[in-house]
Amino acid sequence: MLNLVPSGPRKTYLAQRLLFVADHASNFIPESYENLGVDERYLQEHIAWDIGSLDVARAVRNRTGGRLWPASVSRLLIDFNRDPDHPGLIPESSDGVLIPGNMGLTAEERQRRLDRYFHPYHNGLSAEIDSMLESDGKPALISMHSFTPRMNGFERPWHIGLLYNQDDRLSRRAIDWLRREPGLVVGDNEPYSGRLLNYTMDRHAEARGLPYLSIEIRQDLISTPEGVADWSERLSALLRFLL
């Protein structure tokens, strides 16, 4: 790919517009939870976090400027991209792995995790958006995720997917742009549909009328520094085209 890193006024403009969000950036579980009873090796795998997503978000942000809002705890403790009433908010299992520390959860413990982790994450993100609206105008939210190449026995052929619910104004253009690259397999609401799982963008982008991209990259493509560099260059060029 060509090196299309914006500079000067163009980078300043992007920096004022972009807010990168990484709901599944961390596999951290506080010590008091004793890994939720899960073997340590699983905490390094996709069930605990979106591998490589934070690395790519940081690398793109470093190229374009902008702000970054990353999760601080594992999706196994509480999933920031689920509605508070969603059954998967605090999962009892993931891709066939049982999560003992989430089984038979009391209402008090569920509320404790909402109050300690979930609500501060989303309230803080709302405040960050408010700050951008006051100082820089309307931001564009870039939600960065990654997906495992194989889930529940199904091979996922896409290199990247763009997810959306009702607002596809950036996603549609992004899909068309990415599909111009030979050999790149681009998912349209794949590997799952944003009409089903899109809580963070529904709440913070669609509800406010803000443009957004919800990006999913296959994890084996961003598991090395070279892969992160390749995809950060590609996505930086994409954002320059879109915005």
What is the Cα–Cα distance from 8 to 240, expressed in whole angstroms? Answer: 13
pLDDT score at 14: 81
Q: Distance (Å, rounded) from C-alpha 192 to C-alpha 21?
A: 19
Question: How big is the CA angle at 132 (ends 126 and 134), to the nearest 5 degrees?
Answer: 105
pLDDT at 137 over 90: no
Residue 8: its pLDDT value, please?
52
Higher pLDDT, residue 22 or 16: 22
The domains of the chain, with CATH numbers, are 9-242 (3.40.630.40)
The pLDDT value given to residue 5: 41
Q: What is the pLDDT of residue 12?
A: 72
pLDDT 10s digits, 157-169: 999 999 999 999 9
| Average model confidence (pLDDT) across the chain | 94
Mean pLDDT on 141-168: 94
User: In one letter, which amino acid is 205?
Assistant: A
- Cα 86 from chain centroid (whole Å): 18
Identity of the amino acid at 90: I
Percent above pLDDT 90 for the chain: 88
Instruction: Please report, as a single letter, which amino acid is at residue 28.
Output: F
| Confidence band, pLDDT 50/70/90 cuts, at residue 13 | confident
The pTM score is 0.93
